[in-house]
Copies of this chain bind each other. A is one copy, B any other.
């Protein structure tokens, strides 16, 4: 058994190295690669992806997992080895359910779909994208079929991002959320709007960069094992626990965009840096799920970064850096400005109070597409109707509506709900952290983030992907994913800001 486990670890280590190398090829493409490198890069990424797939789905891995099964069942179910074998088994089963023919077709459909979407968005021409999206939907329906029987056709897709989570659970969570958030936004819209015009001024690039680095250093990002670069779209990636990369994009005419994106990506990076070193070079050296990962980025971005406690410490430092821009803006005015609520067209620019509605809309539409109850050709109309229902606004063009996000063009169906679930989990964790760290607010007002960071490391980060998301959330908070703490948080926060 010892030998078989060692061999399995060798093969999984090879897979981890291939995945890390592929991640570096992608990071480089988004940060430094000259444009002319694209053709070679695409070959390199697809070769590594193929070798990774061959490694993880090899008959040898299958046989080792089978042979190790009885032994793994004799271990403590929460031990690293038991969990490693369980996760490797899950990956193996999922990947070997899918024929190579489908993988190739789907890769092609995504590649063509992405190009068609770019064209369609640039030209406000949904009709151009329609047949490509139809093909992607058909392939995703076929994919779900490989995992039949299921309770819901969307389950196998969701499971790729949220292991173990079911569509019905997500729908229940979101139905509670929807009506309450719609009500809250309506109430806010009747109150006088807060001013955030001071955020839109000249904030020089380098000064923004430096302030962002100062803050995420203080949050605890370990630069011995991380770096920040620039890219068109901010993201976090890693090449193992020891090397985490975040990126940012600075708009010199606007303060908040780069700043909160840096703090957001720092939250992802702290998660990766906090994974226990015993899980290194295994499939457990990753987040528990996309939603749990997003709970970390959102926690640092919103619960910490958009809080009055946080700015009580940092606002004087920010004013020192940008006296011309902020000397005459009070802390309270600044705090209100960065928390302004306003229904808007674009998800990635939306505020905390409206964000989840953007997600729900997408979730409902993609479930309907998968079920076949919504035709692709009717998608723009359905999008606009829901935008009006939830946010009271209607996109003037499809480019500002149904075509705004890259996800569907890249076959990422099942991904959207993880953003909203991350918000919910972040507040559930926050409530627990507040109980365990009675002086949490004081510490943050003093600029001391160590207690919170270490709490998260201990409760969440160190476990990596050992636990499924619901299992982990329940382990830490005592309950499964629950929308009520988030709603309570929104009511309290925005009640105070808008005087509801």
Contact = CB atoms under 8 A, between A and B. Distances in A.
A97 B20 CA distance: 32
A243 B431 CA distance: 50
A149 interface: no
Given A20-B40, A37-B225, 12 more contacts: A13-B47, A17-B43, A17-B44, A21-B21, A21-B25, A21-B44, A24-B25, A32-B227, A34-B223, A40-B240, A40-B243, A40-B281
Central interface residue in A13, A40, A41, A43, by most chain B CB within 10 Å: A40
B34 A227 contact: yes
| Closest CB pairs A-B (n = 3) | A37-B243, A40-B240, A36-B225
A224 interface: yes
Nearest to A241: B40
A273 to B, nearest CB: 9
Contacts of A33: 243
Given A47-B14, A47-B17, A48-B17, A39 B227 contact: no
Nearest to A17: B47
A20 B44 contact: yes
A226 B34 contact: yes
Interface string A118-130: 0000000000000
Interface in A345-361: none
A14 B28 CA distance: 20
Nearest to A33: B243
A47 to B, nearest CB: 4
Main secondary structure of the interface of A (DSSP, over half): helix
A222 interface: yes
Given A24-B28, A25-B24, A47-B17, A40 B239 contact: yes
29 contacts: A13-B43, A14-B47, A14-B51, A17-B44, A17-B47, A18-B47, A18-B48, A21-B22, A21-B24, A21-B25, A32-B227, A33-B243, A34-B225, A34-B226, A36-B224, A36-B225, A36-B242, A36-B243, A37-B239, A37-B240, A38-B242, A40-B240, A40-B241, A40-B280, A40-B281, A41-B239, A43-B240, A43-B281, A51-B51
Contacts of A226: 34
A240 B41 CA distance: 8
How many copies of this chain does the complex contain?
2
A226 to B, nearest CB: 6
Contacts of A1: none
**Contact residues on A (Cβ < 8 Å of other chain), bracket:** 35 or more
Contacts of A242: 36-40
A496 interface: no
Interface in A226-261: 226-227, 229, 239-243
Contacts of A35: 224
Interface in A1-27: 13-14, 17-18, 20-22, 24-25
Contacts of A17: 43-44, 47-48
Contacts of A18: 47-48, 51
Given A21-B25, A24-B28, A44 B227 contact: no
A41 B243 contact: yes
Contacts of A39: 240, 242
Interface string A40-64: 1101100110010000000000000
A281 to B, nearest CB: 6
A244 to B, nearest CB: 8
Contacts of A20: 40, 44
Interface in A268-323: 280-281
Interface in A439-492: none
Contacts of A13: 43, 47
Interface string A339-378: 0000000000000000000000000000000000000000
